[in-house]
Amino acid sequence: MRILAINGSPRKDGNTAKLLKEITKDHVDVDLDSFDLNDLKIRDCQACYFCKKNDACAIKDDMQRLYRKLREADAMVLGSPVYFGVENANTRAFIDRLYALLAFGDGPGKYVPRLKGDKLAISFVCCGAGKGKEVYANIKDRQFAMWANLGFKEVRTYVIAGASPQGNVLELVDAQNMVRECQELLDR
């Protein structure tokens, strides 16, 4: 299995990174590619629609490498912290650029996914808010729809609430349950 793990947080040892490492560690026969978005140069989508006429994005930056890795991967794991109610800017730029993986369908608002195969998408956000699961349920729902629209056959999305800046996330029961469930999904 090929797994693509993407850390949206600028903190390489923060809560998001810790969860990504726990989810993706100790798998047998796995080819793992890990990226920290903060280390990459990814420009914002320019809405030029080049990608709708071509199976590619016109912007030549580090996202080109991630497109290739996404196409090759059997599973993708994306984690992001929540900043001011949404995924952080690095993660938002990555997500916006995924638009290039959709072709126009027949009619307004209709798209055809360009990704092929039985891919698994796992995405999660971490937040400090104790009631984050309720407050940020919209992120979970939006990401679920996004991955499904992109052609992922199996999708899991999570909100991990109550994480402290000191990095306590692995002590949280919801995080432990998520890690266990994700590891099982990746071991199939």
- Residue 186 pLDDT level (bands cut at 50, 70, 90): very high
Query: 66 or 84, which is more confident?
Result: 66
* pLDDT digits 0-9 by tens, 126-143: 999 989 999 999 999 999
Range of the domain at 150: 2-186
| pTM of the full structure | 0.94
Based on the structure, what is the number of domains in the chain?
Answer: 1
Containing 5, the helix (H) or strand (E) segment is strand 2-7
Identify the residue with better confidence: 28 or 105.
105
Whichever domain contains 119, its CATH number is: 3.40.50.360
DSSP assignment string, 92-123: HHHHHHGGGGEEE-SSTT-EEE---SS-EEEE
Higher pLDDT, 109 or 126: 126
Kindly report, residue by residue over 50-61, the tens digit of the pLDDT.
999 999 999 999
